[in-house]
Amino acid sequence: MLKLYFSPGSCSQAAHIALEEAGADYEAERIDFSKQQQRSADFLRLNPKGRVPALVTDKGVLTESLAILAYIGQSFPGSAVGTPSDPFEFARIQAFNSYLSSTVHVAHAHKWRGSRWADDPAAVEAMKQKVSANMSDCFDLIENIMFTGPWVMGETYSIADPYLFTFTSWLEGDGVDPKRFPKVHGHSQRMAERPAVKKVLAAAAG
Ligand SMILES: N[C@@H](CCC(=O)N[C@@H](CS)C(=O)NCC(=O)O)C(=O)O
């Protein structure tokens, strides 16, 4: 059975929703950041990066949301998050998710994790001050160029949808009004109505 290590509200939420959407048989174990459990010896043995998500499979542990989402999509081909067999269509999904992973996530991380990039408290504070503007720029691009609608890739729901939903949920905390992006905001509202999403949010709250 698959086992997902997650922390509520973090990027691991995307993999959690994808597992639900796929109808996968899985177990979910919460990692409590307030207790620094991501740095515990037990968790570091599993994922030396000290981050979530981590997915234990029968072939070994997978890390990185981009890889985990693609693995779920390819493992459950007929499901709501099954990946397309056409290489170009799959690459389009990966391009979108890669932008979230390598650009938007990094822009967001400057708010709480600036010490990864600088020791000087003034530099860390200066990075924090850029988060709102950088997240706005990223979402301008998503809203106006990258997002098709009603789902990220158009008519077909995919592994890009739970991933975008997760990043959109960070906007308010980053000082950005999500309503500034009507298409993305509508997407979030549609996502919130999906049974898989409701189940994951309830599990995270419990
Ligand atoms: N590139 C990784 C990033 C994973 C990551 O940074 N996860 C955050 C939560 S969103 C985390 O575990 N942070 C804990 C920490 O930095 O101590 C991915 O996309 O999965």
Q: What is the mean pLDDT of the chain?
A: 97
Which phi and psi (to 5°) does residue 18 adopt? -60, -40
pLDDT exceeds 80 at position 184: yes
CA of 26 to the centre of ligand 1 (A): 21
Q: Is the peptide bond between 150 and the residue preceding it cis, with omega within 30 degrees of 0?
A: yes
In DSSP terms, 54 is beta-bridged to 5, 63
CA of 120 to the centre of ligand 1 (A): 22
CA of 38 to the centre of ligand 1 (A): 10
Is 87-194 the same fold as 2-80+198-205?
no
- For the Cβ of 50 lying below 6 angstroms from any atom of ligand 1, the answer is yes
What's the predicted TM-score (pTM) here? 0.97
- For the Cβ of 92 lying below 6 angstroms from any atom of ligand 1, the answer is no
CA of 76 to the centre of ligand 1 (A): 25
- Identify which of 69, 41, 44, 45 has the alpha carbon closest to the alpha carbon of residue 55: 69
> Ligand 1, residues 4, 11, 30: which to mutate, most atoms within 8 A of Cβ?
11
Measured between alpha carbons, how far is 48 from 42 in angstroms, rounded to an integer? 10
Domain ranges of the chain: 2-80+198-205, 87-194
Architecture category of domain 2-80+198-205 in CATH:
3-Layer(aba) Sandwich (3.40)
Residue 206 pLDDT grade (very low, low, confident, very high; cuts 50, 70, 90): confident
Cβ(57)–Cβ(71) below 8 Å = yes
Expressed in angstroms, the distance from the first to the final Cα of the chain is 23
Query: CATH number of the domain at 87-194, please?
Result: 1.20.1050.10
- For the Cβ of 164 lying below 6 angstroms from any atom of ligand 1, the answer is no
Measured between alpha carbons, how far is 35 from 192 in angstroms, rounded to an integer? 29
The pLDDT assigned to 134 comes to: 97
- For the Cβ of 10 lying below 6 angstroms from any atom of ligand 1, the answer is yes
Q: What's the average model confidence in pLDDT over 177-195?
A: 98
Over residues 108-137, the pLDDT tens digits come to: 999 988 899 989 999 999 999 999 999 999
The pLDDT assigned to 188 comes to: 98
CA of 46 to the centre of ligand 1 (A): 14
Over residues 55-113, the pLDDT tens digits come to: 999 999 999 999 999 999 999 999 999 999 999 999 999 999 999 999 999 999 999 88
